Amino acid sequence: MSLKKKDLLGIKDMDAEEIGEILETAKSMKKLLLAGTKRTPHLQGKTVVTLFYENSTRTRLSFELASKYMGANAANITASGSSVAKGETLIDTGRTIDVMGTDVLVIRHPLSGAPHLLAQHVRASVVNAGDGMDEHPTQALLDLFTMREKKGRIEGLRVAIVGDVLHSRVARSNIWALQKLGASVCLAGPTTMMPREIERTGAAVFETAHEAVAGADVVMALRLQLERQKSGLFPSIREYSRFFGVDTGRLRLAKPDVLLMHPGPVNRGVELTSAVADADFSAIDEQVTNGVAVRMAILYLLARREN
């Protein structure tokens, strides 16, 4: 098994078969993790570099741990502590990392398309760890993995995604991914934070959270960037959480065995109440664990491509 393309830039350009392959491989990786095997030879002799132009806890750490668990040489660079702060261009930074013998370059960047640009200029495989409002493909893959693990399937699931869809790369990657695997997607969020022509994605779009959540197998709340309030997209956090916050009452409209998800970090009391975030139907911690397994699978499948 290996991936067809050099890079993993977005779910948009992947087919169901490639997604399935990553999810299958992640299953074995998770077994290793659960067995406590944190030293495998899968990536021995390989070098994985994470290049982060934005803050991140879970994504960066899970890539780093995934690399280390599989025996890779792992290094990370952040924008503030590197030549980026001295005004070096993305292409120049990427080439520098590339020619030091990097096999996989994991990038997070505030501007959409940055990983695509980088991928054109480096020999290493590029993994998109989140670019602007475009995609966060490894998040969607770990979300799919979690849903499949908990629900046994993706096809036929009804997944509600609630919140700021406009600015969310997690929402975009999930919209593409879920529909490729046969799930139906229901969106809800303030109309000022819903992209124009969103219906063309194939997702059903609602103006109230309860319509989207009704009958859902999975409810995914999106992180609200609180500073959006200042740009006038919604009047107050209080009003946002009243109309779009996911709480026990709203979740009662979903299927009885609903699964609650959130990409983290959570603004407690805003997009989720603590009561639901910590409930037994919440998969938030599981998502984080699965993130390591899925990223192990991705790194492994990309790194062995060259052999």
Residue of 93, 90, 244, 216 whose CA lies nearest to 151: 216
Residue of 207, 9, 208 whose CA lies nearest to 109: 9
Binding segment for other proteins (CB under 8 A), chosen from 17-25, 127-135, 153-161, 272-280, is: 127-135
Three-point CA angle 237, 283, 254, nearest 5°: 70
- Tell me the Ramachandran region of residue 195: left when phi exceeds 0, alpha when psi lies from -120 to 50, beta otherwise: beta
CB 106 within 8 A of CB 63: yes
**204-206/218-221 β-pairing:** unpaired
* Smallest distance from other proteins to CB 80, Å: 18
Binding segment for other proteins (CB under 8 A), chosen from 131-139, 247-255, 256-264, 297-305, is: 131-139
Residue of 243, 87, 85 whose CA lies nearest to 164: 243
Which CB, 227 or 257, lies closer to other proteins? 227
Which CB, 9 or 72, lies closer to other proteins? 9
- Interface with other proteins, residue 98, by CB under 8 A: no
Sole binder of other proteins in the list 117, 204, 253, 279 (CB under 8 A): 117
Binding segment for other proteins (CB under 8 A), chosen from 193-201, 207-215, 257-265, 270-278, is: 193-201
Sole binder of other proteins in the list 111, 237, 253, 279 (CB under 8 A): 111
**Cis status, amide bond into 265, omega within 30 of 0:** yes
Site residues for other proteins, 136-175, by CB under 8 A, read 169, 172
**DSSP state, residue 38:** -
- Kindly write out the interface string for residues 32-71 of this chain, putting x where it contacts other proteins by CB under 8 A and - elsewhere: ----------------------------------------
CB 122 within 8 A of CB 98: yes
Residues that bind other proteins (CB under 8 A): 12, 89-91, 109, 111-114, 116-117, 131-135, 169, 172, 195-198, 200-201
